[in-house]
């Protein structure tokens, strides 16, 4: 998070994650006060620095996008919990669950893309343009990997 002036989208995303942590802490009967304190600080920051610049209609959109972001982050949280559970299975159990593991592996980046789009939509309500996610295209990633392998082979050949 930017320390000086985080975007409203980044703040809301953080708040949603904090609220998931608070819910989990309550479920497990563990301390969650530090999460609640940060959530409250972010809310004050949003109200003082950002909410004054939008109208009632934009605030409704903000609330809608915030709820959608909450659903996406909840889905990510659940999938990550499931993948951890599957990872803890013995090898034979993981082999039986291969289709589910692959399904989760494909779902997580899609949900993260949805999450980034929602953060972008929230930011747009406040006329904030910020690139939240940057990914290498598959072709570029493969080309870079090949180049690194080529360099390693040349170094070894010289030795």
Res. 131: pLDDT tops 90:
no
For 102-128, b where at least 16 C-beta lie within 10 A, e where not — what string? eebeeeeeebeebbbbbbbbbbbbbeb
Mean pLDDT of 100-108: 95
Residues above pLDDT 90, as percent of the chain: 77
Residue-level pLDDT at 5: 82
pLDDT at 2 over 60: no
**Is 121:64 a contact under the CB 8 Å cutoff?**
no
Range list of H helices, the chain:
8-28, 33-49, 56-87, 91-96, 98-125, 138-158
Measured between alpha carbons, how far is 71 from 77 in angstroms, rounded to an integer?
10
CA gap 139, 156 in Å, rounded: 26
- What pLDDT does 130 receive? 74
pLDDT at 129: 86
| Segments making up each domain of the chain, as ranges | 8-158
**DSSP 8-state code for residue 7:** -
Given a cut of 90, is residue 150 above it in pLDDT? no
Q: pLDDT-derived band of residue 79, with 50, 70 and 90 as boundaries? A: very high
pLDDT (tens digit per residue) in 38-51? 999 999 999 999 99
State the Cα–Cα distance between residues 137 and 103, nearest whole angstrom.
Answer: 21
């Amino acid at each position: 998070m930017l320390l000086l002036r985080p975007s409203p989208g980044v703040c809301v995303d953080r708040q949603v994650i904090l609220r998931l942590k608070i819910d989990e802490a309550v479920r497990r009967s563990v301390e969650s006060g530090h999460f609640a304190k940060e959530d409250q600080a972010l809310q004050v920051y949003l109200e003082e620095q950002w909410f004054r610049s939008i109208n009632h209609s934009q605030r409704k959109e903000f609330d809608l996008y915030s709820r959608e972001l909450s659903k996406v982050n909840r889905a990510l949280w659940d999938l990550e919990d499931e993948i951890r559970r599957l990872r803890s299975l013995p090898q034979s159990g993981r082999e039986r669950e291969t289709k589910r593991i692959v399904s989760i592996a494909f779902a997580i980046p899609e949900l993260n893309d949805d999450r980034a789009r929602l953060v972008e939509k929230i930011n747009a309500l406040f006329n904030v343009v910020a690139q939240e996610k940057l990914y290498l295209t598959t072709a570029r990633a493969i080309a870079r990997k090949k180049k690194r392998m080529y360099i390693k082979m040349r170094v070894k050949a010289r030795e």
